[in-house]
Amino acid sequence: MKLLRYGEKGSEKPGLLDDDNQVRDLSGHVPDIAANVLAPESLAKLATIDPRSLPVVAGQPRIGPCVGQVGKFICIGLNYADHAAESNMEVPKEPIIFNKWTSAICGPNDDIQIPRGSLKTDWEVELGVVIGKGGRYIDEANALEHVAGYCVINDVSEREWQLERGGTWDKGKGFDTFGPLGPWLVTKDEIPDPHALHLWLEVDGHRYQDGNTRTLIFSVPQLIAYLSRCMSLQPGDVISTGTPPGVGLGIKPDPVFLRPGQTMRLGIEGLGEQRQVTVQAD
């Protein structure tokens, strides 16, 4: 299934994308695509619904973030060896963990706000993993049983605040609109191997990132098992698994960063595409 949330910001309704790419309304069956709705038994129940029995959503509604009420937005840094090299950083021996604030979450096609005074706002296409079954001390062998599905994430990053202002990476990663999720949450049954997905990103038609999840340093099961040793994972938590090379920071000889009025397009095989316009934050 391709599950989604549609409607105005803060008032999104649950939906489903059918085989004809029509949005169908799920609000008669579930309150939101969030929390325990993502549990295996709930997803199995949703899978029995004939999409043709659901009302078609008229027009072209705004598509919201594909997961609501996110509890934790956990990110992994330098999880592609070639991205670590372009960033002039060592390949990590253990996963690098940082967070995005949930206030950073926005829809896949919402405007991206460049923070006041920022000259180093950057892009990062990433595979998102959405937890459906919670747990602690999860075995790597069973880790994928805890996955509800996958989505596209743009890990937008302000490099000065991330790297030059002291402290943790979180400061440069959590600005408002720096966490577009979606367009849909694709349930794991549709993605037999999350480690064989092409992912890409373009700015104003120029392709900067063109990678594949097969080159992840730490796999999805490894990440889930590792994170569950640091914290309990809960339904609706989102894990952003890292970005392949081609970020603006790594461009030689001179880095390239975003400015207002540009258009980003990005996508992952089987998971859909995002499109965002950059604007100056008020």
Full set of structural domains in the chain with CATH: 68-280 (3.90.850.10)
Averaged pLDDT for residues 197-204: 98
Nearest-angstrom CA–CA distance, 232 and 116: 35
For residue 116, what pLDDT band results from cuts at 50, 70 and 90? very high
pLDDT in tens, 120-133: 999 999 999 999 99
Phi (first) and psi of residue 99, to 5 degrees: -125, 150
pLDDT in tens, 215-248: 999 999 999 999 999 999 999 999 999 999 999 9
Give me the percent of the chain exceeding a pLDDT of 90: 94
Q: Which two tokens stand for residue 151?
A: 């989505």
**What is the value of pTM for the model shown?**
0.96
Query: What does DSSP say about strands 112-114 and 125-131: parallel, antiparallel, or unpaired?
Result: unpaired
pLDDT in tens, 35-94: 999 999 999 999 999 999 999 999 999 999 999 999 999 999 999 887 777 777 788 899
pLDDT in tens, 133-147: 999 999 999 999 999
What's the confidence (pLDDT) of residue 87?
77
What's the confidence (pLDDT) of residue 244?
95
Averaged pLDDT for residues 260-268: 98
What's the confidence (pLDDT) of residue 277?
98
The pLDDT mean for the chain works out to: 96
What's the confidence (pLDDT) of residue 156?
98
SS3 of residue 179 by DSSP:
strand
What's the confidence (pLDDT) of residue 89?
75
Where do the H-state alpha helices sit in the chain? Answer: 40-47, 81-86, 159, 170-173, 220-230
Averaged pLDDT for residues 13-34: 98
What's the confidence (pLDDT) of residue 91?
84
Dihedral sign from CA coordinates of 37, 11, 124, 60: positive
Nearest-angstrom CA–CA distance, 169 and 270: 30
Q: Which two tokens stand for residue 58?
A: 């008229």
Where do the H-state alpha helices sit in 64-203? Answer: 81-86, 159, 170-173
HSE-up of residue 235 (Cα within 13 Å, Cβ side): 15
Phi (first) and psi of residue 26, to 5 degrees: -105, 5
